[in-house]
């Protein structure tokens, strides 16, 4: 097996985008501290960890959103649906991880690099940024998302392009062993123990006797470490697609322009196409429900001449119908409903 992990560190902020790119400084606050910031905010001196008041003092034009974990989970699931064209073995893990088993898909896409290129285009079309890791085990793939970008080509070269088999084990072990221990998914108290013991990288721990590790750091950590190394199996349940597709998106800013609506609608349509491909289905009718800020609703029904599951077709028809609409108030909620599969 070859596991691909996608980590979305900017997800709490990027999900609020209602346009393709937010040019102004923006950030997300969680427990009265900034959690993530965009590049414009960082350029203004705003960094994670400071308070909203400090951020406004540094830049009075910064937009700060309250973190919305439920919306993050829905958005992560929407991204997962969009990946079903690459593999049916997909798992989401809170708060910002996707795990995909891609070994069985490599020949279909022409190898690891070709698959990663197509996947990058798919996610870039939704305007989400991510980091990736590759490994024979899910937890090692998660850790390797923290590998610096300049080392990713070396990581890819560790695996056979068409089978996904590990062909450079020493090189792979070197990359994994060099990872700093703060990247491990473990309790803060264990991180303190690591520092007190003088351990700084994963390579400091992996060679140690397993019994000694268990006594010193606990059974749960030992199991985690053995799943990282592949000594213990780490079964991953695949995401189960619902029998119907009914997706709702709350817009962070109400939209008055049909042109601006096309961006969040595209995100939803990409997820729909992944859902249809994952279930090997086509649909002949989709319905958009647009809720306006004055509590009225407008509906767009698209009836297709034949069953489809292709993004370009859905998007072109949606754009065409949007151009014909006139809104009596801004739109604050989108709902995409598939009525005929």
Q: pTM of the full predicted structure?
A: 0.92
Under CATH, what is the fold of the domain 246-340? Answer: Dna Ligase; domain 1 (3.30.1490)
Looking only at the bridges linking them, the beta strands covering 33-37 and 283-292 are unpaired
Axis-axis angle for helices 258-278, 311-322 (nearest 10): 150
Name the token pair of 297.
């609703």
Name the token pair of 19.
């346009």
Q: Is 291 helix (H, G, I), strand (E, B) or coil?
A: strand
Alpha-carbon span 12 to 199, nearest angstrom: 32
Alpha-carbon span 169 to 180, nearest angstrom: 20
Residue pair 282/288 in contact (Cβ under 8 Å)? The answer is no
Alpha-carbon span 212 to 240, nearest angstrom: 39
Q: So what's the pLDDT on residue 49?
A: 96
Residue 191 burial (10 A CB sphere; 0-12, 13-18, 19+): middle
Q: So what's the pLDDT on residue 19?
A: 59
Alpha helices in the chain (DSSP H): 11-14, 39-43, 52-58, 69-82, 106-109, 112-124, 138-143, 152-156, 169-177, 188-197, 202-205, 210-217, 219-229, 258-278, 311-322
Distances (CA, A) of 198 to 174, 193, 202, 329: 19, 9, 12, 61
Residues of the chain with pLDDT below 70 are 18-22
Q: So what's the pLDDT on residue 259?
A: 83
The closest of 98, 141, 134, 140 to 116, measured between CA atoms, is 134
* Domain range 11-70, its CATH number among 3.40.50.2000, 3.30.1330.60, 3.40.1170.60, 2.40.37.10: 3.40.1170.60
Q: How many residues does the chain have?
A: 341
Q: So what's the pLDDT on residue 22?
A: 59
Q: How many C-alpha atoms does 219 have within 13 Å on its Cβ side?
A: 0
Residue pair 64/44 in contact (Cβ under 8 Å)? The answer is no
Distances (CA, A) of 276 to 23, 89, 127, 270: 33, 15, 21, 10
331-340 sheet: strands from edge to edge? 246-255, 331-340, 283-292, 297-308
**Tens-digit pLDDT profile for residues 111-164:** 999 999 999 999 999 999 999 999 999 999 999 999 999 999 999 999 999 999
DSSP secondary structure code for residue 88 in this structure: S
């Amino acid at each position: 097996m070859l596991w691909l992990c996608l980590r979305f560190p900017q997800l709490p902020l990027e999900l609020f985008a209602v346009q393709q790119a937010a040019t102004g400084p923006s950030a997300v606050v969680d427990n009265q501290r900034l959690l993530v910031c965009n590049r414009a905010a960082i350029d203004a001196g705003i960094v994670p960890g400071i308070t909203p008041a400090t951020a406004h003092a540094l830049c009075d034009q910064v937009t700060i959103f309250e973190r919305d974990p439920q919306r993050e989970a829905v958005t992560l699931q929407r991204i997962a649906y969009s990946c079903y064209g690459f593999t049916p073995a997909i798992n989401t893990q809170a708060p910002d991880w996707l795990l995909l088993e891609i070994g069985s898909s490599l020949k279909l896409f022409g190898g690891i690099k070709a698959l990663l290129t197509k996947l990058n285009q798919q996610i870039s079309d939704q305007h989400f940024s991510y980091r990736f890791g590759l490994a024979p085990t899910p937890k090692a793939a998660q850790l390797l998302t923290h590998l610096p970008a300049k080392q990713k080509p070396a990581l890819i070269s560790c695996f056979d392009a068409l089978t996904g088999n590990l062909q450079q084990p020493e090189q792979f072990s070197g990359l994994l062993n060099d990872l700093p221990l703060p990247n491990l998914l473990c309790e803060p108290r264990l991180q303190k123990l690591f520092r007190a013991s003088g351990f700084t990288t994963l390579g400091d721990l992996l060679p140690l006797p397993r019994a000694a590790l268990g006594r010193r750091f606990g059974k749960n950590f030992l199991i985690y470490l053995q799943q990282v190394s592949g000594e213990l199996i780490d079964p991953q349940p695949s995401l189960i697609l619902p029998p119907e597709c009914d997706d709702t998106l709350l817009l962070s800013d109400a939209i008055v322009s049909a042109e601006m609506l096309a961006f969040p609608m595209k995100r939803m349509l990409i997820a729909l196409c992944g859902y249809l491909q994952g279930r090997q289905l086509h649909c002949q009718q989709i319905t958009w429900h647009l809720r306006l800020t004055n509590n009225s609703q407008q509906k767009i029904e698209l009836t297709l001449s034949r069953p489809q599951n292709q993004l370009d077709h859905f998007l072109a028809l949606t754009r065409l119908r949007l151009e014909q609409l006139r809104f009596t108030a801004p739109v604050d909620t989108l709902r995409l409903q598939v009525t005929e599969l």
